[in-house]
Chains A and B, each alone.
Chain A
């Protein structure tokens, strides 16, 4: 059963130098309360794994602005020019990963797999330094799993057992990250009693969730 905690308390668990996955796509489905709390905590040297860095100062952009990030693994940073500038200035080390590969690398870690073979990136800079494997005449890249110390995810509703449902396109990377970190913190809009979310409706089973929190304001 996940513990219900305040955002401040739960973010206190994240130590400098931790690896942290953060759900969302262009701030849609990003746990913005947790991100704001983390940015405000003065955390440093984080490795952040996410799809994109949101907008300047918004969503995951808050962590870029406060120089909390040392290493970033993402598919897109173009909507936040501050990330690009800090990459050029050498303040953030950025690893760009094709979006589908990012999703599968996270899924692999959560699913106990040693990696995934994908045709995406063959013949491009993405293939540099990676093992190529040929299966039935087609070339694939071996892409390795991505695991993290923490996952900060956003869902619409949770029951007290941590079973989650999402709203519309705010689902994106959240269910995958819920499986791929040692400690999974879910920011939700509403916590309901067990039984109020039917077993057929659950998208992320509560067994993956360590902490539940609601945005404080």
Chain B
């Protein structure tokens, strides 16, 4: 599976987690791709933490409005029925539990549900932006990440080593190797990419995996 297929697999699988009527915040990059795979019949409202709900697709070339950008500063559109608000209201929505699901990337995630995705000591620090509020405030936190780093190192750890974004808030991790539930300090593999054995996935994972009795294969068709 090439990198493009892996990312599509992750985004498509996470889209299956969304329910009709959900208010959802998608992080920049891979999490944004989730919106390309929303199942038919499921209508969700996307929240953009810079101040609106009803986030729509990228505008056609020439139709960009400098006053309408997403949380990455890129031109976007707003759908009919959307609404603008200020940053305090935006984060009241986030912290107040009015966002059903947030999807974010990870540098590291661990079996206790800790997430590190905002800084690497000794490197240029970008800042946490809205990530800390989103992970603490959203009802359900889903991590979208490739299973290992560029150097092949595990990202699913026993305990995060990098500075945390939030402690014990992650509910589900979806990678190109499988789907992992975080529950009571355990990382439970509930679905696996059929290209790999459980042993191969465990070798690429530092956290000790618990295999769900209902383990299934991920759908990898048509990527």
Contacts and interface: CB of A to CB of B under 8 A. Distances in A.
Contact of A167 (B67, B95, B128): B67
B194 interface: no
Nearest to A166: B84
A41 interface: no
A100 B94 contact: yes
A167 B136 CA distance: 30
B124 interface: yes
Dominant SS at the B interface? loop
B67 A172 contact: no
Contact of B167 (A76, A123, A169): A123
B130 to A, nearest CB: 4
Interface of A is mostly: mixed
Interface in B76-93: 78, 84-88, 90-91
Given A25-B50, A120-B95, A75 B86 contact: no
A170 interface: yes
Residue among B50, B52, B90 having the largest count of chain A Cβ atoms under 10 Å:
B50
Contact of B127 (A26, A74, A103, A120): A74
A26 B67 contact: no
B127 A76 contact: yes
Contact of B84 (A26, A75, A171): A171
B49 interface: yes
A98 B133 CA distance: 7
A216 interface: no
A29 B67 contact: yes
Interface stretch (A6-14, A78-86, A206-214): A78-86
A174 B84 CA distance: 13
B125 interface: yes
Interface stretch (B158-166, B170-178, B207-215): B158-166
Given A167-B67, A171-B51, A176 B95 contact: no
Contacts of B109: none
Interface string B80-116: 0000111110110011000000000000000000100
Interface in A55-108: 74-79, 81, 84-85, 87-88, 96, 98-104, 106-107
A175 interface: yes
A121 interface: yes
Contact of B163 (A85, A87, A125): A125
Given A119-B95, A168-B78, A176-B88, A99 B126 contact: no
Contacts of A121: 132, 136
A102 B87 CA distance: 9
- Chain B CB count within 10 A is highest, among A78, A98, A121, for A98
Interface of A: 25-29, 51-52, 74-79, 81, 84-85, 87-88, 96, 98-104, 106-107, 118-126, 156, 166-176, 203
Given A88-B124, A169-B50, 4 more contacts: A81-B124, A100-B95, A168-B84, A173-B86
5 contacts: A29-B67, A51-B87, A52-B127, A85-B124, A120-B133
